[in-house]
């Protein structure tokens, strides 16, 4: 056998096993990193879900407080307006808050010049409130990319307290909260 043949045999015999071992190690490392990435994404998803649940509970709480007021307080326009204003003050990201009676008529709204709640959103939230359930709906009436969250809590008389939120987190469009405020 010539020197070239021996060198070729040595190269193939030494390099090929190293190449196969290298590819196997590369595949093992890639699989491990992919599994770590999947686990990390799953943990981040769970964390985001917990944060969103807590944020949502914080949004529901003032609405539940207003919904639990005695019906005399809800019939007095001055008291109701003061309560709605007090709920809005620490929540600069809320666009508006309103109280609907069981027929869907707006009893009070804060701020006073707030626009109408879209009929489809209002009907859906009110139907859930009549069943005694709190609800969350998206409101796209401001156009694509500028959505709001409509949050409703049922009242004892069948009405609902509804707040629209421009949402302060980066998950939502913050510009809308600044632009949509009257």
**Residue 94 within a domain:** yes
More confident residue, 175 or 41: 41
d(CA 136, CA 127) in angstroms, rounded, equals 12
Whether 98 is in a domain gets the answer yes
Provide the angle, in degrees to the nearest 10, between the axes of the packed helices 77-88 and 3-67.
160
28: in domain: no
Question: Does some domain include residue 79?
Answer: yes
Tokens of 148: 């709001």
Q: What percent of the chain has pLDDT over 90?
A: 18
Domain count, the chain: 1
| pLDDT value at residue 173 | 43
- Flag whether 23 is in a domain: no
Cβ contact 120:138 at 8 Å: no
The domain that contains 69 carries what CATH number? Answer: 3.30.450.20
Asked if residue 149 is part of any domain, the answer here is yes
In a domain, 30, yes or no: no
Q: pLDDT at position 32, please?
A: 96
Lowest mean pLDDT among 34-48, 75-89, 115-129, 149-163: 115-129
Instruction: Give the tens place of pLDDT for each residue, 28-54.
Output: 999 999 999 999 999 999 999 999 889
For the stretch 26-42, what's the b/e string if a residue is b when 16 or more beta carbons lie within 10 angstroms of its beta carbon?
A: eeeeeeeeeeeeeeeee
Range of the domain at 93: 48-180
> What pTM was estimated for this model as a whole?
0.66
Which one is predicted more confidently, 156 or 154? Answer: 154
- Please indicate, yes or no, if residue 133 is contained in any of the structural domains: yes
């Amino acid at each position: 056998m010539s020197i070239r043949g021996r060198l070729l045999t040595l190269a193939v015999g030494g390099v090929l096993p190293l190449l196969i071992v290298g590819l196997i190690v590369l595949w093992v490392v890639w699989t491990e990193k992919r599994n770590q990435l999947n686990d990390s994404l799953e943990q981040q998803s769970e964390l985001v879900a917990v944060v969103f649940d807590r944020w949502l509970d914080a949004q529901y709480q003032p609405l539940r407080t207003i919904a639990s007021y005695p019906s005399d307080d809800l019939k007095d326009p001055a008291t109701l307006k003061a309560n709605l204003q007090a709920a809005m003050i620490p929540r600069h990201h809320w666009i508006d808050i309103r109280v609907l009676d069981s027929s869907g008529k707006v009893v009070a709204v804060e701020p006073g010049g707030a626009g109408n709640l879209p009929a489809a959103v209002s009907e859906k939230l009110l139907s859930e409130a009549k069943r005694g359930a709190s609800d969350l709906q998206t409101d796209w009436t401001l156009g694509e990319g500028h959505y709001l969250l409509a949050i409703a809590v049922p009242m004892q008389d069948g009405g609902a307290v509804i707040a629209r939120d421009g949402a302060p987190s980066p998950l939502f469009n913050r510009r809308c909260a600044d632009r949509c405020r009257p």
